[in-house]
Structure 1
């Protein structure tokens, strides 16, 4: 009974639930912002790496290597605590969204590159034979085919982004984890952390299953 009262106290869970839901809303908003900006930036970096002049391709490669190697927490701390020394002050939400977007862009660029390079060269040659300009061929011929390949890994990256939003609590952004830790301190009981874990599970488990479904579907399509 002592274990239940300490970690699964129903009364405290009910009292902390509105606080946790507010944190969940911030977590979803942060994750969606990072996914939108990170995906757009990643696709742009991918195209620069593949088709831009050589100096720009090298810069894109350097960016991808650096942000794939750096932990998100390090990037977040540098943005939130170091930039003020050069006169740039960002809110905790903007700092977290920027850090997540920068890292996601690097991984997205590599995923998109693999997807584009998976398209047979004959597709490019056929588009050129039809007189399609390069960017028109890319938009209407290549990318629609590449999307089928990259959707499963991109979806997996999105799940990772939502999990990594928990790091925003380090810069006092009121996400789900920060709200849970505040509620724990307020109520002197760890039950709110258990509630946050349950909410994370309920929110992310369907996304994890979606990734599995997309991967299996992709394998089945490749087999045919």
Structure 2
């Protein structure tokens, strides 16, 4: 099984990393790939460049063998579209291996605004991670997709290459990248909210107003 977890990671923090570990263990797989986006099409531009965010992400996971970085989206020009990434990975792993992507309820609520959103379940399974304060509007296209393709357990994800959607509620750390950027810009310490090597490098580079 190939499991990918995408995002801007702007900056990467313990909430991202702990979720990745929880999902890797819950699905009983050896590795999860973190996929930093180059230009996110559905949110504001990142506060740090792609190269810097990639550098910080690699620093954050260097002592965790179960986490890997996949920088393919940073090597493409233009906006980072999930369908393009999944299509490329599917070509690499073949038609039969399960491919799984991770998305939060806040993002999944607007899933029908993603490019080629109806094609995505044909390429991969989807794990929807419950985020406090966000929900999927009933009778919306994402809610209908969830109802039509709902999986009752992660075993169903292992049993087929794509097509199922499952909602999971793993333990989450209440940390946001936007809150971290604000804290850093205000001169307040983000220590213990993100890995020490990441914070030290942010200070060295003067990122986010440090």
TM-score by length of 1: 0.26
Bigger proportion of residues as strand: 2
Q: Greater CA radius of gyration, 1 or 2?
A: 1
- Select the structure with the greater relative contact order (CA < 8 A; seq sep ≥ 6): 1
- Richer in helix (by share): 1
